[in-house]
Amino acid sequence: MSRLIILALVVGFLIWGLASWQKNGSFLGFSPYKTVNLIDLISYGNLYDGKKICTRGYYLQAEALSIIKVSLKDDNYTRSAWVLSSTGQEIITQIPGQERIIEATICGYFASQRAGEFGDPPVWNHQITLEKFETYGETQPFVPVK
């Protein structure tokens, strides 16, 4: 009888843990991602290099561009990181010839190099390999501030 109760508890615990994993990507409440402000991530990239992170900013997507930016006032190369989708996921459905932007939380593997080795052209010092994301609001056409 006691073995049956222990077995039921173990099975219940495993089901709860797997449901938690599917819902928020963590087992027992421990997330594999560290939440970092985008400005801190870019400013102190060497501290987060090689780690799984989540960060929030303005995601900009065009035909040959996929970045997350701190501010809409900066150009595309300032205070931004290249976003690489290894799974083929699109955060914004591409519209040929249009740059679109949306506020988003992006989670994935972070890499940082000082020589500007990421992107196309390879000028960004930071890259996030996309694993999951969440968007807020509607996509908007991106009009650069001059």
Domain map of the chain by residue range?
1-31, 34-141
Contact 102, 59 (CB under 8 A): yes
Gap between the Cα atoms of 22 and 13, Å rounded: 14
Q: In terms of pLDDT, which residue wins out, 30 or 39?
A: 39
Q: How far apart are CA 110 and CA 129, in angstroms?
A: 7
Q: So what's the pLDDT on residue 136?
A: 92
Residue 80: CB atoms within 10 Å: 24
pLDDT at residue 9 greater than cutoff 90: no
Q: What is the pLDDT of residue 11?
A: 79
Specify the CATH architecture of the domain 34-141. Answer: Beta Barrel (2.40)
Share above pLDDT 90 across residues of the chain, in percent, rounded to a whole number: 42
- Mean pLDDT along residues 15-19: 70
| 62-109 pLDDT, tens digit each | 878 899 999 988 888 889 999 998 777 777 776 667 788 999 999 999
